[in-house]
Structure 1
Amino acid sequence: MSQSRRQARVFIATGEVSGDLQGSMLVAALHQQARDRGWDLHIWGLGGDRMEQAGMELLGNTSGIGSVGLWESLPYVLPTLRHQRRVKNHLRQQPPDVVVLVDYLGPNLGIGQFLDRRFPHIPVVYYIAPQLWVWSPSSKPAKQLASLADEILAIFPAEAKFFRELGACVRWVGHPLLDRCDAMPSRQQARQRLGITEGQTAITLVPASRRQEIRYLLPTMFAAAQRLQAQQPQVQFWIPLSHPTYRQPIETAIEKYQLNARIASRQDAIAAADLAITKSGTVNLEIALANVPQVVIYRVSSVTAWIAKHILHFSIPYMSPTNLVEMKPIVPELLQDEATPENITQQANRILQNPARYQQILQDYAQMRQALGNPGVPQRAAKAIFHHLENIDSPNKQEAAWPRKPK
């Protein structure tokens, strides 16, 4: 008689557009690992459309829920709490074999603490830890995360070092965007698909992956684009959509600022560009890995900025992940009051009109890429998660006894 196929249940929780993108790559890799091993795998949790398409049962869509700052987060408190209640009820009724938390600090810490109280035997893997190692290294959340996680799958070397020093079990797997960018079209292919002619300057604008950025970044960015267009009438702007709900405000802004701009696929818009003017975030690494110079801008509400400066004494060396990897100013950053149309235009022209500056950025990108590891990141992360599954003796989580690290 043939043995029955082994079954496993994995719960994954993440939020925002970047979490959905990176989570979808992990979901696909987990299903591939299950097929290779002859396992039946059920993945469910919080994420977005990409994760659902990759094979995850979606309990709640969190790709549109995300913000930076105290004031900006208020509209998302109630939706987040509703997702938390739904998840906790589901976890009580159907405890998984392994829990994987992806970025999304506040909500995921809440889930982790619930599991620690209710199901301390369920292994918790944290993949893509929030950048506490940069902006809050001595904070309580950093210590909580290190304590809750049975293993942290780090994507940056500095992140791995930081959490090891806090006593966490850490495995450095590299950055998953290495795999996504391996599939990116060449510059020639992308420009041909978009119909960009020889000698035409293509600038990609990335204004938002969060709704607050439509309000605080888009007007400044598009005003800078308007200035560049007046100086270089042949310029063509390309705008990728991070979420379908942003199409209408972006199209309205294109008309308002009278830009020669079109919405295009994310990969074509990035690969074809001579320059990107972009929000701060994971997309900065995607742009860097495509060898496209960029100007990074970051703005929050004046209330949040005042609280961060005068009460929280918030200070970080760099905002863009591109600069954080090497801890040096590879690309220009314009933060808060410095992010003006005049300054953005000036920085963009410094890159476009100075071949030496352009080439220096590309050389720094090459060095930065080496620090991100090697492709195959989602597969390495999936194998690490399966290691936890293989160490579970019983499919009944209330009887299983995975030895958690000492608290």
Structure 2
Amino acid sequence: MRIFISTGEVSGDLQGSLLIAALKRQAATLGLELEIVALGGEKMAAAGAVILGNTSGIGSMGIFESLPYVLPTLIVQRRAIAYLKQNPPDLVVLIDYMGPNLGVGTYMQKHLPNVPVAYYIAPQEWVWSMSLRNTSRIVGFTDKLLAIFPEEARYFSHNGANVTWVGHPLLDRMRDVPTREEARTKLGITPDQKAIALLPASRKQELKYLLPVIFEAAQIIQTKLPTAHFWIPLSLEVYRQPIESAIKRYGLRATVVSGQQKEVFAAADFAITKSGTVNLELALLNVPQVVVYRLHPVTVWIARKILKGSIPFASPPNLVVMKPIVPELLQEQAIPENIVQASMELLLNSERRQQILADYHQMRQCLGELGVCDRAAQEILQMRKE
């Protein structure tokens, strides 16, 4: 059975790899042999997919920021469509990555209508949709939509999609995380040390817009907390050089690690982080965090004129329960002084820390039960045409 999977960016590659492992487990119980070809990254390749185009570094947030990626995106999209034309699969799975996946889905609807299409982790139209145009396109070409958030399931079901809520796949990923003691021992963190995770970038634009303000805040924090040491897990190895140069420039007591994100999160007392999937990972491990995000001023101006403040929150933990669990410092608010103030409160105020941990517990109840990836894989394999 040939499955084609299309996703992009660092988070899509992670989710794709978890799904591939589950698809293989479920296929084995059915006596099926799978051939998986994908747009994705190194994690999906390691899980057993043949990668048609590496999309883990092709992605951006915002209108202005996406311009450098228009051509690379079109190239991988055309490569995918050319492959699908020559090698029609038995099944197509789309994961997030709205721009390219709208193109792939539309192609399937027009030219290969008999091949089932599953959308797993739909684009966040349920949060920031300006019109129903893209929602209608997604519903039109999707045979089954596998939602990870309850609100996502409600939104797409209301708009005519065949929806199954499977829960959030990070629940599965967090199963084999080391204990705090194991992680701190492995990383060589002493009991008296404050381990602070810094997560400035999984996209190139974030090195420009987020890294300077986060590192400047870290510089101030380490003067206030002599026991502080910063841990920076790389999302992509290509970011090592600019991050290490910035550490020297700001004089930070910091360690950059690769392939040890789980250990850093399990060991951390606190995190300063960009907005994204990583916020949920930290929340599931009970790490208090401050979320920071900035976009190009032109993007923000356009968004404010069109969306008129209709996006309630930026980070997934807050979106899940639609309340401000973690502090979000966005755009003009994302300055070092504000980051330091919010950070010191979470580091030193035990009542504030307890509140955030209680809110995390409430949020966890909205993410479903363990076995998410296997449930998704079962739903996908049930779609195959006999």
The equivalent residue for 1:112 is 105
Q: Is the 8 A contact 1:226 1:258 kept in 2?
A: yes
Secondary structure of 2:355's counterpart equals helix
Instruction: From 5, 16, 19, give the equivalent of 1:12.
Output: 5
Judge conservation of contact 2:130–2:307 (CA < 8 Å) in 1. no
Question: Normalised by the size of structure 2, how large is the TM-score?
Answer: 0.98
Deviations 1:159-201 (A, max 9, x none): 0011010011000000000011111111111111111111211
Q: 1:87: how far off?
A: 0.9
**Residue by residue, what CA displacement relative to the aligned partner does 1:82-112 show, whole Å, maximum 9, x if unpaired?**
1111111110111001100000011101100
Q: Runs in 1 of length 4+ with deviation above 3 angstroms? A: 311-314
1:76-155 → structure 2 map (5 Å cutoff):
76-136=69-129, 138-155=131-148
Matched, 1:201 2:219: no
Q: TM-score of the superposition, structure 1-length normalised?
A: 0.93
In 1, Cα distance between equivalents of 2:289 and 2:139: 34
For residue 63 of structure 2, what is the aligned residue in structure 1?
70
The percent identity for this pair of structures is 59
Contact kept, 8 Å, 2:77 with 2:104, in 1: the verdict is yes
Query: What residue identity is the alignment partner of 1:280?
Result: S
1:267 aligns with 2:285: no
Cα deviation, residue 314, structure 1: 5.2
Per-residue Cα deviation, 1:353-376 (whole angstroms, up to 9, x for no partner): 110110111111111111000111
Residue in 1 that maps onto 2:282: 287
Match of residue 333, structure 1, among 323, 328, 337: 328
Q: Is the contact between residue 152 and residue 170 of structure 1 (CA under 8 Å) also seen in structure 2?
A: yes
Give the SS at the match of 1:388: coil
Q: What does 1:161-240 align with in structure 2 at a 5 Å threshold?
A: 161-240=154-233
Instruction: State the Cα distance separating 1:313 from its structure 2 match.
Output: 3.2
- The count of aligned residue pairs is 384
Which of 269, 292, 303 lines up with 1:297 in the alignment? 292
> 2:177·2:266 contact (CA, 8 Å) conserved in 1?
yes
Q: Is the contact made by 1:15 and 1:104 (CA closer than 8 Å) also made in structure 2?
A: yes
Q: Give 5+ residue unaligned stretches, structure 1.
A: 1-7, 394-407
> Unaligned stretches of 5+ in structure 2?
none
Checking the alignment, whether the CA contact within 8 Å between 1:135 and 1:314 is kept in structure 2 is no
Give distance in 1, aligned partners of 2:252 and 2:310.
35
2:359 aligned to which of 364, 376, 384: 364
**Contact 1:100 1:125 (8 Å CA) reproduced:** yes
Letter in 2 for 1:344: I
Residue 146 of structure 1: how far off its partner (Å): 1.6
**Pair 1:348–1:306, CA change in 2 (3 A):** same
| 2:248 corresponds to 1:246 | no
What amino acid maps onto 1:322 in structure 2? P
Matches of 1:314 and 1:86, distance apart in 2: 37
Determine the structure 2 residue equivalent to 1:399.
none
Secondary structure, aligned partner of 1:36: helix
Alignment check: 8 A CA contact 1:67 1:210 kept? yes
Whole-angstrom distance in 2 between the partners of 1:117 and 1:351: 52
Asked if 2 retains the 8 angstrom alpha-carbon contact of 1:291 and 1:365, the reply is yes
Tell me which moved more, 146-155 or 338-347. 146-155
Q: CA deviation at 1:138?
A: 3.6
